[in-house]
Amino acid sequence: MGYTYGDIVTLAKAAEDANFYSFTVSDHFFGNMESVEKHAHDAWTLIALLTPQTERIRLGTLVTCQSYRNPALVAKIAANLDNASNGRIDFGIGAGWKKSEYEGYGYHFPSTNRRKKVLVYFISTFFLFKEWARGTSTFSKPSEKFASTFSLFTGLPKV
């Protein structure tokens, strides 16, 4: 966060040259965890930028906040980028926690229980949109690797 696009491409290429397994980007609206001072790029835009700039390194989010985007749209974006990257997309999902980001972009900040319920809804909807396997979807089928690189981060207390 706070880096230019050029800086991020340079970092990703250096990580790939050093044989790192993956390069992840943050899905935050603000770069500074305590404030709104630093700029942060959109995670999925960064992954789209990095896809043609890299060849081997896996690319992903650490993590996508479930509250900011429609799950079907995220599934489509991730599937498209997975195809464009030849199966190098890792998908991380989280419940969201930074109240200032919600409020700064006009989103209601739900209770912890509500965010957990929405996270379950997001995940189930995301996987329901695997209709691409049955040929009923309007977006591309991701690689087989994509289905096995799903990570869940809640940051929420155990229930």
Residues lower than pLDDT 70 in the chain: 1-2, 31-39, 129-159
Q: Which CATH topology does 5-153 take? A: TIM Barrel (3.20.20)
Helices and strands, counts by H and E, the chain = 6, 5
What pTM was computed for the model?
0.79
Q: Which phi and psi (to 5°) does residue 65 adopt?
A: -80, 125
pLDDT number for residue 158: 43
Domain boundaries, given as residue ranges, for the chain = 5-153
